[in-house]
């Protein structure tokens, strides 16, 4: 009887010690958030391929053959601006993420377009359809050169006479009229003409590769490379395009590093995080009110 009582007392003491240890450990885990070597607070871990599923500790993803990625508190803070996405080096390599530097350049290049020769009361002109992205700088008075395939070796000096202000929404093009300065008998109406128009010299402006710009129905976005595998989408105001580059009027500064390949996946991840943060904020506020 005494032996059975002693056994029950020891079992109860062991259970109490185990429960106390678990309570203290849980309390410690709750009161001391996880942090990395730099002291950044980690809210949870996740798999980039399944960002909606959260884990309370690091380890191997159950979905993919890769390590879970930490989600930091400063990435979810509305005060920090758009969400910051952290991408591990091996994932960045597999996604083919490439970056470039925002620089200044003079808008330039040459616009080449085809049109038909027409005759009117003022002489001879060429009517052109040009894409709006290539025609932001196009305006009356800019010199042009006209060539005709049926008249090899010949060219005529011309000037842009007019550019329509109304955009053909379906074709995304503008109508331009180029006036030939010195027509002759060989320049007949209805001939197919090739017109070259060189953009005028202008002050240097901020430019990025055209492929870096994400265009949607409501916004233009460029993804900043912040270093240490951290990326952040920012809204920008885009200007004229010239060749492989596009002008940035607002949102970036010279020397910024931007993503030119793989930026769509990063922007999608950031948009998902922003949506999750917006959903969590009312719940957190409701919890505070209940307390």
Helix (H, G, I), strand (E, B) or coil at 50: strand
Interatomic CA distance for residues 158 and 143, integer angstroms:
6
Domain that holds residue 138: 110-198
Contacts by 30-36, CB closer than 8 A, 24 or more apart: 33/73, 34/70, 36/70, 36/72
Segment of 16-25, 61-70, 96-105, 262-271 carrying the highest mean pLDDT: 96-105
Instruction: Indicate whether 241 and 163 sit together in one domain.
Output: no
Question: Residue 16: inside a domain, yes or no?
Answer: no
Interatomic CA distance for residues 76 and 82, integer angstroms:
9
List the beta bridge partners of residue 156: 146
Interatomic CA distance for residues 74 and 153, integer angstroms:
65
Model pLDDT, residue 193: 96
Instruction: Indicate whether 132 and 58 sit together in one domain.
Output: no
* Whether the predicted pLDDT of 38 surpasses 70: no
Model pLDDT, residue 263: 85
Question: Residue 19: inside a domain, yes or no?
Answer: no
Verdict on whether the full-model pTM lies above 0.95: no
Helix (H, G, I), strand (E, B) or coil at 127: strand
Instruction: Indicate whether 29 and 100 sit together in one domain.
Output: no
Instruction: Indicate whether 140 and 185 sit together in one domain.
Output: yes
Query: Which residue, chain included where needed, has tokens 């959260």?
Result: 54
For residues 236 and 151, is the Cβ–Cβ distance under 8 A? no
Among residues 165, 198, 231, the one where a domain terminates is 198
CATH number at residue 155: 2.40.30.170
DSSP annotation of 119 reads E
Instruction: Indicate whether 40 and 166 sit together in one domain.
Output: no
Model pLDDT, residue 134: 65
List the beta bridge partners of residue 149: none
Instruction: Indicate whether 115 and 194 sit together in one domain.
Output: yes
143-166 pLDDT, tens digit each: 999 999 999 999 999 999 999 866
Question: Residue 13: inside a domain, yes or no?
Answer: no
Question: Residue 183: inside a domain, yes or no?
Answer: yes
Judged by phi (left if over 0) then psi (alpha if -120 to 50, else beta), residue 149 lies in: alpha
Model pLDDT, residue 217: 80
196-242 pLDDT, tens digit each: 998 777 778 899 999 999 988 888 999 999 988 888 889 999 987 77
Q: What is the separation, in whole angstroms, between the first and last Cα of the chain?
A: 50
Instruction: Indicate whether 92 and 214 sit together in one domain.
Output: yes
| Confidence at 128, pLDDT banded by 50, 70, 90 | very high
Structure tokens at 218: 């409501």
Question: Residue 46: inside a domain, yes or no?
Answer: yes
**Residue 88: φ, ψ to 5°:** -65, 150
Instruction: Indicate whether 101 and 40 sit together in one domain.
Output: no
- Count of domains forming the chain: 3
Instruction: Indicate whether 96 and 208 sit together in one domain.
Output: yes
Instruction: Indicate whether 211 and 278 sit together in one domain.
Output: yes
Question: Residue 20: inside a domain, yes or no?
Answer: no
How are the residues of the chain apportioned to helix, strand and coil, as percentages rounded to the nearest 5?
Answer: 25, 40, 35
* Whether the predicted pLDDT of 175 surpasses 80: yes
Question: Residue 38: inside a domain, yes or no?
Answer: yes
Question: Residue 248: inside a domain, yes or no?
Answer: yes
Burial class of residue 146 (count of CB atoms within 10 Å of its CB; 0-12, 13-18, 19+)? buried
Interatomic CA distance for residues 259 and 231, integer angstroms:
8
């Amino acid at each position: 009887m005494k032996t059975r009582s002693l056994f029950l007392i020891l079992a109860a003491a062991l259970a109490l010690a185990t429960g106390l240890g678990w309570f203290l450990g849980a309390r410690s885990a709750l009161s001391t958030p996880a942090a990395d070597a730099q002291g950044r607070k980690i809210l949870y871990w996740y798999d980039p391929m399944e960002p909606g599923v959260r884990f309370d500790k690091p380890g191997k993803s159950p979905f993919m053959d890769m390590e879970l990625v930490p989600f930091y508190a400063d990435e979810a803070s509305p005060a920090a601006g758009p969400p910051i996405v952290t991408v591990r080096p091996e994932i960045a390599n597999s996604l083919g993420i490439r970056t470039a530097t925002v620089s200044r350049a003079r808008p330039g290049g040459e616009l080449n377009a085809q049109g038909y020769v027409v005759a009117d009361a003022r002489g001879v002109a060429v009517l052109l359809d040009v894409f709006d992205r290539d025609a932001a700088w196009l305006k009356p008075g800019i010199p042009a050169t006209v060539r005709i395939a049926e008249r090899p070796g010949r060219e005529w000096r011309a000037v842009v006479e007019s550019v329509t202000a109304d955009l053909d929404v379906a074709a995304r093009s503008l109508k331009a009229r180029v006036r030939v300065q010195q027509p002759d008998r060989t320049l007949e109406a209805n001939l197919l003409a090739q017109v070259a128009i060189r953009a005028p010299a202008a002050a240097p402006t901020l430019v990025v590769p055209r492929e870096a710009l994400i265009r949607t129905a409501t916004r233009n976005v460029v993804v900043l490379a912040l270093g240490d595998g951290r990326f952040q989408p920012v809204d920008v105001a885009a200007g004229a395009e010239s060749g492989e580059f596009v002008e940035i009027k607002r949102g970036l500064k010279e020397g910024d590093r931007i993503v030119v390949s793989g930026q769509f996946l990063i922007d999608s991840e950031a948009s998902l995080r922003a949506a999750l943060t917006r959903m969590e904020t009312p719940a957190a506020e409701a919890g505070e009110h209940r307390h």
